Amino acid sequence: MNGNGSFSPELISRLEGAERVGVFTGAGMSAESGVPTFRGEDGIWKKFKPEELANFDAFMRNPQLVWEWYNHRKHLIAGIEPNAGHYALAGMESRHRYFSIATQNIDNLHRKAGSRTIHELHGNIGRNYCTGCGAYYTDAQLALLGNVPKCSACRGLIRPDVVWFGEMLPVDEWDAAVRAAERADVYFSIGTSSVVYPAASLPVLAKSAGAYVVEMNIERTDFSRHADEVMIGKSGELLPRLLEQYPRGTDIPVGQPPYTL
Q: For residues 86 and 113, what is the distance between their CA atoms, to the nearest angstrom?
A: 6
Residues 6+ positions from 59 with CB-CB distance below 8 Å: 66, 157, 159, 164
| 38 touches ligand BV8 (CB under 6 A) | yes
Q: How far is the CB of 103 from ligand BV8 (least distance, A)?
A: 8
CA angle 173, 36, 32 (to 5 degrees): 90
Cα 93 from chain centroid?
A: 15
What residues are annotated to the active site?
122
Per-residue binding letters, 145-164, with Zn ion (x by CB under 5 A) = ------x-xx-x--------
Stretch touching ligand BV8 by CB under 6 A, among 6-14, 21-29, 131-139, 207-215:
21-29
Least distance to Zn ion from the beta carbon of 127, Å?
Answer: 15
Cβ proximity to ligand BV8, 121 vs 183, nearer residue: 121
One character per residue 77-116, x = contact with ligand BV8 (rule: CB under 6 A): ---------------------------xxx----------
Count of residues touching ligand BV8 (by CB under 6 A): 36
Residue 157 interacts with which of ligand BV8, Zn ion, none, CB < 5 to 8 Å by class: none
For residue 88, give the nearest of 110, 105, 107, 108 by alpha carbon: 110
Q: Could you give the CA distance from residue 251 to residue 19 in angstroms, rounded to a whole number?
A: 11
Q: Give the residue among 195, 202, 193 at the shortest CA–CA distance from 175.
A: 202
Report the site for ligand BV8 in 155-214 (rule: CB under 6 A): 162-168, 191-193, 195-197
